[in-house]
Structure 1
Amino acid sequence: MTKRLAILLVCAAVVGLPSFAQFSGQWEASLLILPSPPGIMLETSVLSLAYGVAVGWQLTSTSTFGTLGLTAQAFGVIGQFGPLAMTGGLDFNPQDTSTVTVTYPPGCAPQTESVTLAAPAYKSAWFKTTLTFFGAELALTLNHWAYPYSKDPADPEGIEEFAWPCCPPQTQAYTLVGFVAYAAPATLTSRFADCGNGITFKDVTLTLSEASLCCGITHDLRVYFTRLGFQYLSFTLDLPLCCGISLEASVTYTVAEKTFGLKPKWSGGGQVCFEVYGDVLWDDVMMTIGGLAIYGYRLRCEFSACSYVEFLTALDVSKVEQILDDEDLLHGNEFQYVRLGFCGPGCCGGHYTIGVAVYFQPSGTLFGFTRIGVDVAVPLLANLILTTSFGVTATGDPSSLSVGWIMTF
C-alpha cells in the first residue's frame, strides 16, 4: 500500500510540475504604517494570476483585497487561434453592500433610484470575438449586466457606473449583443438588446472616422438608425488653423430638422517639455471667439529616461485634474507642485526610482508649503520590487508612511 501511494505521488508530481510551470502572475500590495493609530494595516493588495491552458490561450484571475478583505474579483480569458482572437471577463461583488444611486435615460420614470447592493453577487460579463482578414475585422461582442451595475460597452474594464437602460423596473438583467464590421476608415455596428423579455433590435450605426480630405483636413460621417427607423445623419469637418487651434463644423440632419454647429477646439500649446491646459471661449449665439481660457501649465525637463524635474501650476484645479485624469492630484487649497525624479541601476538588471514632490498653496503656511511626498521603488530580486511612500504635511495633518511590494512569478 505504501509503495502504491509513493508511486501515485511521484506520478502526480510529474504531471503537476509542467502544469504549475504554466502559471504566472503578479502580487502588488501596500501596508499603511502611519498615521498611528490605527497602526499597521493593509492598504491594498492585488493578486493577478494567469494560467496557460493551451498555446496562445490564458485564463486570468484578479483579486483585490482591502482592509475588510476581498473587495473585488474578476476572471478573464484571452486567446488567439489563427486569425480568430477572443477576450472576455466576469466581475463579482464579494462584499460591498453600500447604497448607490441608479440613473435612467431621459424619458424614463423614475429618473433616479436608490438601491442597496447585494453581496456576494455576480456583476457583469463581457466577451468579444474578432476575425481579422485582409486588413478588415469582423467582431461579435456580448455584454451582460446584473442590476444595477453597468459600464461603457466599448470599455468593459473601465469605471463602474450605475446607469440602467430604460427597461421595466423589475428587470434584473440586461444583455447587449453587437456585430461589428471594420475596414478603415469605415465601421458598421449593429446591436441587439434584451431587457429580460426577449431580444430585440436596438440600433445600427455607420461611421467614417477621420477620413482625410487634404491639407490636414479630416471629416467624420455618422448615420444612425434605431428600431423606429432613421434617426440622424451627421457630418463633421475638422479644419486645423494654427497654434493647436482647430475649427470643428458639423451638420446634423434628422427627419424633422437640420442643425448646424461651429465650435473651435484647442488641444493646448507648447513644445514637448512645456504644456498649456485650456480651452476656447466660444459664443454659440454670435458664433465668435471670446478668448482663450488658460487652466494651467506644466514644464518638464528630462535628464535621462527616468530623471526629471517638473513644475505644474493649476489656475483651475478641477479642470486640470480632469484633463490629467487624476482627481487626487492636489489637495485642499493646493494649486502648484515641484516634482523631482531620479533613477539608477539596481539589483538584477533593474533600476531604482525616487520621486519627490513638494506642494504649495496661495497662503496660510510658510512659503505656502503644504506637504512633501516621496515615492521609492527598489528592485530586491529579479521578480521583487520594494515600494515605499512617505508624506509630511505643514498643515497639521498626520504624516503618512506605506510600504509595499510588487512580486512577479
Structure 2
Amino acid sequence: MDRRQFLTASAALAGASMAATPMMSLAATHRSPEDEDYWNFIRKQYEVTDKITNMEAGYWGIMSIPVTQAYIRNTHFINSNSTYYVRREYRGDYNKIIARIAKKLGVGEDELVLTRNATEAMSSLINGYNKLNEGDTVIYADQDYGAMQSEMRYLKKYRRVNVVEIAAPEPASKQDMIDAYERALNDHPKCKMILLTHVSNRTGIINPVKEITAMAKGRGVDVLLDAAHSWGQFDFDFQDLGVDFCGFNMHKWIGVPLGVGLLYIRKNRVLDIDPLRGEAGPENDNVRTRIHTGTVNFASVLTIPDALDFREGIGQRNIEGRLRALRNQWVSQVRGNDKVEILTPDDENMYAAITSFRIKGKTSYEDNAELMTMLHEKYGIFTVAIGGLAKGSAIRVSPSLYNSRADCDKLAAAIKDITG
C-alpha cells in the first residue's frame, strides 16, 4: 500500500473530518470578524482544554482537529513504512511541499529549506553570515527574540565585530521605528548587518520591514529578517519586503505540527551564508546545505499541506480580521485606564493578534511574573510575562482562533479589577 492508499484508508477508518467539507467550500468568502456564528463554527474545529482560558498562543499554535487527524494518520504511516518510505519516496513528497510553500511566498523552490523552527533558521543565518570583517558593526533591538540576541552577541567574540543593541521607541509609530533604525545606522556607519524582527514576540509590534530594509540596503547593509510570528498572523506580500534572508515558523500561526520552520535565502545570496559544518559538498550553492536535513519528524512535514488546506479554507484575510478583532475586544476596554500601559499601537499596520501591557510602575520581571500568576490563579486566564524590554517587563496577550470575544471581555474585566 502506497502513502496515498494508506492515508485514504486511515481517513475512512477515522471518520470524515468535522471541518473539511463545509468549511472548504467557503474559501473565497469574506467573513466579518463580527460573524459570531461562523467564528463559533471555526472555534469548534479546535480541541482546547477547559481548565483555563488560554491567551498565550504566541508560544505555538495548536493544530485544528482536521490537521491533528492528518498528523495521526501520517504518524502511523511513517511508523509502519519507516525507512522504506523515507529513503525511496520522502524526498519527492518533500519537494512537492516546498513547491507549494514557495508558490505561496512568491519565491523559488531552490531558495527554501525546512527547519525545526525559526530559531534554527535564524541561527544558521546569523552564524553563517560571512560578509563581516573585524571591526564591522551589527545591530539588533531590545524587541528581538532573546535567542537571536544571544546569537548576535556571539559574533563579538568569534567574529570580533562591534555588536550594538538599540532600544525600540515605546510607545511607537511606524515612523518612530524607521527613525530608530536610521539613527542607529547614522551612529554606526560601519554597520554591515541588522537583525530585524517582523513581529516582535515581546510586544506584537509589526515593524515596517520594507522601509527599514530599503534604507539599510541603500547603505550597503544586509537585513536578516526574523519572521517567526508574521506568516499566518496577518496578510503580507513577502517578496514586497525586499529581504534576502529570512527565518519562519510554521507551527505558530500556520498551525502545522510542532517542529517545523523554514529558512529562506535569495538565490543570488546563498554563498553569503556559509554551509553548516558537515553539510558542505560539491553543491556549495544549494540552500539545503545551510541546515542539517537528516532525521526529522517526517509526519510533521507531511502534514504541512493539511494545515495549509485548513487555513486556505478560512482565508488569510478572514483570519487576520478575526485576530485583530479579538485583540481590539480587550484592548479597547483597557486603553483608557490610566493605570495601564499598552505597549502596542492601535495603527492597524502595526498590530495583529499579539499585544502586551504592563501596570504602570510595575516594570520588573518579578512584578509581571506575579501578575501572570494572579491572572492564572484568580481569574483563570493564561498569559505570559515577558522581559528584555528597555523600559521594563510586561504581560503578553496572544489570542487565537479558538478564543471568543467573551474570553477577551474576561481579560479586560480582570485587568480592571486588578487596577481598582
Q: TM-score, normalised by structure 2?
A: 0.24
Q: Which has the higher contact order (CA 8 A, sep 6+)?
A: 2
Structure with more of its chain in strand, by fraction: 1
Structure with more of its chain in helix, by fraction: 2
Question: Rg: which structure is higher?
Answer: 1
Q: TM-score, normalised by structure 1?
A: 0.24
